[in-house]
Amino acid sequence: MAKAWITDRWIKDATVTMPDGTTTRISPSAAQIKSLKTLPDHFRTAKFGKGSRWVAGWYDPDGVQKQRLFARRSDAEAFIAALEDDIRSDRYVDPSARDRTFSAAAEAWLASKNRIKDSTWRRYRRELDNYVLPQWGTRSVGSITRPQIDEWVAQLRAGTALHVFDKNQHIKVKARTPVKMKPAYLRHVVGATFGGALRYAVGEQWIGRNPLAKVELPRDEGDIESDLPGLSYPDIEDLADGASDLTARDSDGALLRLLAYSGPRIGEATALKVKDLDPAKNRARVHRTWTTDRDGRRKLGPVKTWEKRWLPIPAFLMAELVALTTGRDAEDFLFTTVRGAAVDGTNWYNRVWLKVRASLGLAVTMSVHDLRHVAATNAIAAGGDVKLVQQMLGHKDATETLNTYSHLWPDRVAEVIAMVEQRRAEALEKAHHLAA
């Protein structure tokens, strides 16, 4: 076990010469120590009255001697007691590591994320810069406590937390301000981004315990006022025709129909190539998507492993898509701009979606991503089961699909009980005849 001690930097024992010529060491009396102003010089060290008085010294588990200064002996004693308890419990952490700033821990954690997508890295970077570092950046990582995190969570929920929003080099008439943070986003900011840095600090033994471990983050309560976004088939067709009329290009209407009937993400849809279509089976292969690199530049990347899939496409829409491919190379993107480049999802949102929904007064509050929900709700209403919707949307498992859409599947309890009753009656009647 490591040895720990406390040393007084200001006071020392004195060596005095006795009448018989011998020398001996004597310590100052309690009264002398209590009255430092009159303490004899031979009891004073060269550091008397300079800096902190008390030194807490110890040997760490590797046998390296270390120390820390304290102004009060009581603080040094409390430090040593906690230190020895951590050593006995095998929770020892070098106290100097606890003084590392949270900002340093967060940057080290982010730099270690070598397996994530660039778009995920950018999300971590954005959340660190916007919310996490303004609150915790200058704090020592070892000083963060659970009550402080609880208070921060409450502030995030109320929209009053410290924040820094960068303007992205765009001129804005009105500065961006925070709003009440929704539970799902809050869980990512606190649990994934802030928590990732803390877990990294624990793993590197900069802190002994994770103060976030028992913090309760809010759960989604659902929206009791409205349901998932939906569009009727005539509405979808009106929007698709409107998009083609707006741009004088059939491909924009076809893209809108693909989003609303088959449910790919906009980045997946605009990354489709001619070769990805399988007209014989009315499907398209989804295995790439548009994303961004760490500098925000657009690039092609793979979808998540479990989201590689065959996307079902209605026959009428497949015919429309095949018509777009006439005379084109297999490596060409399916949806292109006038200049032949792949359609950019953000540009399409501003150039087509915003304008067509405003001109028709349809889906005026919907995002392009909401068309994915439209596809799912219409598929369920048409009789699609959980596995079909899961495959269509590329969910990792059926649980994700059910968590979002379970309330849309019809309640078949009465139907099942009626069937049980019917089969019971048939079985009893058959048994009666056999017994007769």
What does the pLDDT look like over 127-140, one tens digit per residue?
999 999 999 999 99
Is residue 184 located within the same domain as residue 107? yes
CATH number at residue 286: 1.10.443.10
Residues 248 and 306 in one domain: yes
Nearest Cα neighbor of 270 from 296, 297, 245, 298 is 298
Mean pLDDT to the nearest integer, 281-305: 91
107, 13: one domain:
no
Give the range of the structural domain holding residue 400, as residue numbers without chain letter. 233-408
C-alpha of 373 from chain center? 22
Is the torsion defined by CA of 354, 359, 364, 368 positive or negative?
A: negative
pLDDT of residue 214: 93
Shared-domain flag, residues 67 and 111: no
Q: Do 127 and 188 meet the contact criterion of CB atoms below 8 Å apart? A: yes
- Check whether residue 370 and residue 237 sit in a common domain: yes
- Mean pLDDT of the region 338-354: 95
In a domain, 226, yes or no: no
What is the distance between the alpha carbons of residues 179 and 130, in angstroms, rounded to a whole number? 13
Q: 37 with 49: CB under 8 angstroms?
A: no
Q: Are residues 54 and 192 in the same domain?
A: no
In this structure, is residue 190 part of a structural domain? yes
Residue 25 lies in a domain: yes
Contact between residue 43 and residue 54 where contact means Cβ atoms under 8 Å apart: no
Concatenated DSSP letters of 218-243: PPP---SS--S----HHHHHHHHHHH
Q: Is 29 exposed, middle or buried (0-12, 13-18, 19+ CB in 10 A)?
A: exposed
149 & 38 share domain: no
Least confident of 79-93, 328-342, 381-395: 79-93
Cβ 58 vs Cβ 4: under 8 Å = yes
| 337 in a structural domain | yes
Q: In this structure, is residue 222 part of a structural domain?
A: no
360 part of a folded domain:
yes
Question: Residue 1's pLDDT is what?
Answer: 44
Please state the rounded mean pLDDT for residues 84-96. 74
Domain count for the chain, please give it. Answer: 3
Q: How many CB atoms lie within 10 A of CB 93?
A: 19
Residues 76 and 109 in one domain: no
Clarify whether residues 11 and 85 are in a common domain: yes
Q: Where are the alpha helices (DSSP H) in 49-132?
A: 73-88, 95-98, 102-111, 118-127
- Angle formed at CA 11 by CA 9 and CA 14, multiple of 5 degrees: 130
| Partners of residue 69 on adjacent β-strands | 55
pTM of this prediction? 0.68
